[in-house]
Amino acid sequence: MYALVDCNNFYASCERVFNPSLENKPVVVLSNNDGCVIARSNEAKALDIPMGAPAFQYEKLFERNGVYVFSSNYALYGDMSRRVMNILSRFTPDIEIYSIDEAFLLLEGFEEHFDLYSYGREMIKAVRSKTGIPISIGIAPTKALAKVANKIAKKFAARTGGVYIIDAPEKTRKALLWTKIGDVWGIGRQYEKRLLSLNIKNAQQFVELHDEYVRKEFSVVGLRLKRDLSGLTTLSLEATPLKKNIAVTRAFESMYSNYAELKERVSTYAIKIGEKLRRQGSNCSLLQVFLLTNSFRQDLKQYRASISVYTPYPTNSSITLVKTALTGLDMIYKEGYQYKKAGIIAMKLTPSTQKQFKLFSQENPKHEQLMKVVDQLNFKENGKVKFGGQDLGRTWKIKQEKLSNKFSTRLNELIIIKI
């Protein structure tokens, strides 16, 4: 059996842990630059605030309904996620961390020794008491069915106690009939449209389609999903693998038209890419750089461009990455446009332990040491070391007007309790 454990309204719950007065109140968390709603408490969902809602369009509604609004605090959410996953790992040796707030647990043979429902309830209690985060658990013979069970556990929390188990054919059938086709894991908007036009409205009808047909229309991905949903184990647990691509992409707080500003931002993104590569222990050989104008402003001239540039050798040195990224920027930059977003994606990643010797070009061996020192200083001093190409005065800043403290990772931002 597989369990899918999912944190309820994760980002909103993280904010609540350190601010219990938010309990039972509507809470939303915004994306970078305080742009869109990316997380909502149940109370906020009940106010019909959709996922992705532009914050400026909902300001009035927030005010009228006393909605508590937060900028996203990834330092906090990332750390809370790590804590939750650590606790879950105590319940089984086989765990796949699927996203920041979800994990699959393999409970093979556990049903012979434990009552799975009580086991799930214990997980909920442990995570709640040690981190403050509420979770829901779906348990079933396959991953896709565990996803379905999880939805049921959450939807009927009062009745299920947050744990739902699919362990018999009648239960499977009932659960699949209940699941709307668009809510099935792996069925997105496009597939949903196509299936609805064929009058396939729920997961049970999807499972009854012919294999060949599913394969033809939805590729092998769809077929695997169908088999897994029907109870045949097709998707297995995967050790959380190294990333194959690493990206840093950001919208600017305003539009930039001059090259110097873009150059500074792209340099900063390249440096961030370097940090992420070093954290994973990877080098990259190919950088893709892209540039976009503001597509919401159709009254302005539009331009989008992207280019791939090879690094001279596999590297994670911020210095080399900046040089490479700027080469790319030079090639795609055009004067006369107002740019709103830029990004860099590092591709063709290899382990940094694996040294490749090139005939004519090699990295200056001092880079490795230098980067190590920079990373250590930046960890201790919270990002104080910068490179010459960066804006030292930091005239730009992402908009984060409602940022909470880094309660769990910074000593000087600890929660203060007055007695």
Partner DNA sequence: TCTGGGGTCCTAGGACCC
Query: Among 233, 236, 240, 249, which residue sits at the site for DNA (rule: CB under 7 A)?
Result: 249
- Kindly state the smallest distance separating residue 415's Cβ from DNA, in Å: 26
Query: Among 78, 188, 281, 351, which residue sits at the site for DNA (rule: CB under 7 A)?
Result: 188
Hunting for tokens 């080399």 — which residue is that? 320
DSSP state of 403: P
The verdict on 162 binding DNA (CB under 7 A) reads no
**Number of residues engaging DNA in binding (CB under 7 A):** 48
Q: For residue 200, how many C-alpha atoms fall within 13 Å in the half-sphere facing its CB?
A: 21
At 47, give phi and psi (nearest 5°): -85, 10
Q: What is the distance between the alpha carbons of residues 253 and 398, in angstroms, rounded to a whole number?
A: 6
Query: Among 343, 371, 389, 407, which residue sits at the site for DNA (rule: CB under 7 A)?
Result: 343
The verdict on 356 binding DNA (CB under 7 A) reads no
The verdict on 15 binding DNA (CB under 7 A) reads no
The verdict on 250 binding DNA (CB under 7 A) reads yes
Q: What is the distance between the alpha carbons of residues 339 and 327, in angstroms, rounded to a whole number?
A: 18
Q: What is the distance between the alpha carbons of residues 286 and 293, in angstroms, rounded to a whole number?
A: 24
- Kindly state the smallest distance separating residue 256's Cβ from DNA, in Å: 12
Scanning residues 48 to 77, which ones bind DNA (CB under 7 A)?
A: 52, 54, 56
Mode of pairing for the β-strands spanning 102-106 and 95-99: antiparallel
Please give the C-alpha separations between residue 348 and each of 314, 326, 342, 343, in angstroms, as whole numbers: 9, 19, 20, 17
The verdict on 36 binding DNA (CB under 7 A) reads yes
The DSSP string of 114-153 is: S-HHHHHHHHHHHHHHHH---EEEEEESSHHHHHHHHHHH
Q: What is the distance between the alpha carbons of residues 322 and 386, in angstroms, rounded to a whole number?
A: 13
Closer CB to DNA, 263 or 265, in the complex: 265
The verdict on 308 binding DNA (CB under 7 A) reads yes
Closer CB to DNA, 165 or 235, in the complex: 235
Alpha-helix residue ranges (DSSP H) falling in 244-394: 259-280, 318-332, 366-381
Query: Among 9, 33, 320, 404, which residue sits at the site for DNA (rule: CB under 7 A)?
Result: 33
The verdict on 92 binding DNA (CB under 7 A) reads no
The verdict on 254 binding DNA (CB under 7 A) reads yes
- Kindly state the smallest distance separating residue 362's Cβ from DNA, in Å: 22
Question: Max alpha carbon distance in the chain (Å)?
Answer: 69
- Kindly state the smallest distance separating residue 177's Cβ from DNA, in Å: 19
Torsion of CA 263, 267, 270, 274, to 10 degrees: 170
The verdict on 35 binding DNA (CB under 7 A) reads yes
The verdict on 270 binding DNA (CB under 7 A) reads no
| Whether the Cβ atoms of residue 209 and residue 245 lie closer than 8 Å to each other | no
| Whether the Cβ atoms of residue 67 and residue 61 lie closer than 8 Å to each other | yes
Scanning residues 198 to 227, which ones bind DNA (CB under 7 A)?
A: 219-221
Q: Tell me which stretch binds DNA (CB under 7 A): 112-120, 315-323, 337-345, 380-388.
A: 337-345
The verdict on 296 binding DNA (CB under 7 A) reads yes
The verdict on 236 binding DNA (CB under 7 A) reads no
DSSP state of 71: E
Q: Tell me which stretch binds DNA (CB under 7 A): 182-190, 354-362, 370-378, 387-395.
A: 182-190
DSSP state of 25: S
The verdict on 197 binding DNA (CB under 7 A) reads no
The DSSP string of 175-231 is: HHHHSBGGGSTT--HHHHHHHHHTT--BHHHHHTS-HHHHHHHHHHHHHHHHHHHTT
Closer CB to DNA, 31 or 409, in the complex: 31
| Whether the Cβ atoms of residue 178 and residue 171 lie closer than 8 Å to each other | no
Q: What is the distance between the alpha carbons of residues 107 and 95, in angstroms, rounded to a whole number?
A: 9
Helix (H, G, I), strand (E, B) or coil at 392: coil
The verdict on 31 binding DNA (CB under 7 A) reads yes
The verdict on 99 binding DNA (CB under 7 A) reads yes
Closer CB to DNA, 42 or 114, in the complex: 42
DSSP state of 52: T
Closer CB to DNA, 125 or 279, in the complex: 279
Q: Tell me which stretch binds DNA (CB under 7 A): 75-83, 316-324, 341-349, 378-386.
A: 341-349
Of 392, 409, 379, which Cα lies nearest the Cα of 278? 379
The verdict on 38 binding DNA (CB under 7 A) reads yes
Closer CB to DNA, 220 or 411, in the complex: 220
The verdict on 101 binding DNA (CB under 7 A) reads yes
The verdict on 104 binding DNA (CB under 7 A) reads no
For DNA, the binding residues (CB under 7 A) are 31-33, 35-36, 38, 52, 54, 56, 98-102, 147, 184-192, 219-221, 243-251, 253-255, 276, 294, 296-297, 308, 340-341, 343, 345
